Structure 1
Amino acid sequence: MSDQVSNQLFPVFLQLNRLQTLLVGGGNVALEKLTALLGNSPHASVKVVGKEISREIRVFTRAYPSVTLYERAFENADLDGVDVVVVAADNADLNVHIRNESRKRHLLINVADKPDLCDFYLGSIVKKGNLKLGISTNGKSPTIAKRIKELLNEALPEEIDETLNYMSQLRDLLKGDFADKVRTLNAHTVSLLASKDEK
């Protein structure tokens, strides 16, 4: 089976501001996950549970009123009312326990550095205004994903958001059936991107 066929990931973009997220852990890895979550969805509702919550997490979350901190051990009841679970605890037994409890409740879970325990991965993200690209190596190499992110950040023009806004306005003004609209939008996209390349 080729690598293209064996990569079974289905890319989605979650509206975390409409979901309840649980983050288990209070150290550096938890801070990294929290930074990724809130960097992409600043209004996400995140409950952080950790035996020890670092000063860095406390300082970072001051700017996010939708984050609540609980400095204590994880309890199964922490999964109540949750939609998404992210585990960044340095405890193999706890990781497996939370994974099993999450599966019983049909919750999506990510366990840091444990691809075999994950339902989803937190990939590298390229963000330019309304444009957001997710990059995943299927858990094989976060380093390569990070490098691709850097390359795309450099390659994409800062004006891309202006183009997206223009295309959105144009789409709203177009008449005709779906196929006509697609043809018109495709033609404008080609001309817009060509003019950006010439600059």
Structure 2
Amino acid sequence: MNELFPIYVKMAQIETLLVGGGPVALEKLTAIYTNSPEAKVHIVATALTKTLRTFIKGKLNIRISERPFDPCDILGKDLIILATNNEVLNSQIQTLAQHHHILLNVADKPALCDFYLGSVVQKGNLKIGISTNGKSPTIAKRLKEFLQDLLPEEIDETLQLMSQYRNQLKGDFQHKVQVLNKHTEDILGRGAI
């Protein structure tokens, strides 16, 4: 059973540490910046690939420390992502993260993770996260592609209209929820999106 609690994090409001400078680090960083272009990330790595350097060029919210990891690197961090294949280092950082109550993701090591980076479908303001509980990123990727193709481009217009409608509603919270639920039921029932 998948007991993960899905949340959406305002990455621009927290500090993230990414340890590693290779292709996996680039994959993680791309996932972050595709979803949160203003995310604040500190990269610590002994070396960065040319592709990673190209990706971060001009991004002022990314800080680089080209050197080995230092335990002080976790200070002030809210989230840590490890993209190293160094099991000893990963274990050391996991212990530090637990001690300091910092959420940790270790690439390709579900047992060491506090959270996973799922596949994400995005159409305008609609964002759908897909999790397989770390069991099959390939299935998540295929579902992402399916949903991306299935959702109409006009979905963002519908979301904008629903936001305006919600703001115009009068009454208490419960009344607004009932009216909006009925309205969305009508929209989805007619296939209007």
TM-score, normalised by the number of residues in structure 2: 0.96
3-state SS in 2 of match to 1:37: helix
Among residues 126, 129, 145, which one is paired with 2:140 in the alignment? 145
Aligned to 1:122: 117
Among residues 149, 154, 174, which one is paired with 2:149 in the alignment? 154
Rounded to whole Å, the distance in 1 between the matches of 2:65 and 2:74 is 13
Aligned to 1:33: 28
1:56 aligns with 2:51: yes
* Pairwise CA distance, 1:179: 2.4
3-state SS in 2 of match to 1:154: helix
* Pairwise CA distance, 1:97: 0.6
Aligned to 1:75: 70
- Assess if the C-alpha contact under 8 Å between 1:163 and 1:192 holds in 2: no
Among residues 82, 86, 108, which one is paired with 1:91 in the alignment? 86
Rounded to whole Å, the distance in 1 between the matches of 2:49 and 2:137 is 24
3-state SS in 1 of match to 2:184: helix
The amino acid that maps onto 1:87 is: L
The amino acid that maps onto 1:51 is: T
Report the CA distance shift for 1:84/1:194 in structure 2 as closer, same or farther (over 3 A): same
3-state SS in 2 of match to 1:21: strand
5+ long unaligned stretches in structure 1? none
* Pairwise CA distance, 1:178: 2.0
5+ long unaligned stretches in structure 2? none
Fraction of identical pairs, as percent: 53
Among residues 18, 22, 36, which one is paired with 2:17 in the alignment? 22
Among residues 165, 170, 173, which one is paired with 2:165 in the alignment? 170
Deviation per CA, 1:60-99: give whole Å up to 9, x if none.
Answer: 0114210011111000010011100000011111110110
Rounded to whole Å, the distance in 1 between the matches of 2:122 and 2:59 is 20
Among residues 120, 126, 129, which one is paired with 1:134 in the alignment? 129
TM-score, normalised by the number of residues in structure 1: 0.93
* Pairwise CA distance, 1:157: 0.9
Deviation per CA, 1:25-72: give whole Å up to 9, x if none.
Answer: 000000000000111100000000101111111110114210011111
**Runs ≥4 in structure 1, deviation > 4 angstroms?**
none
Rounded to whole Å, the distance in 1 between the matches of 2:141 and 2:174 is 37
1:8 aligns with 2:15: no
Rounded to whole Å, the distance in 2 between the matches of 1:157 and 1:187 is 21
The amino acid that maps onto 1:190 is: E
* Pairwise CA distance, 1:198: 6.1
* Pairwise CA distance, 1:116: 0.7
3-state SS in 1 of match to 2:97: helix
Rounded to whole Å, the distance in 2 between the matches of 1:115 and 1:27 is 19
**Aligned residue-pair number:** 193
Rounded to whole Å, the distance in 2 between the matches of 1:10 and 1:184 is 27
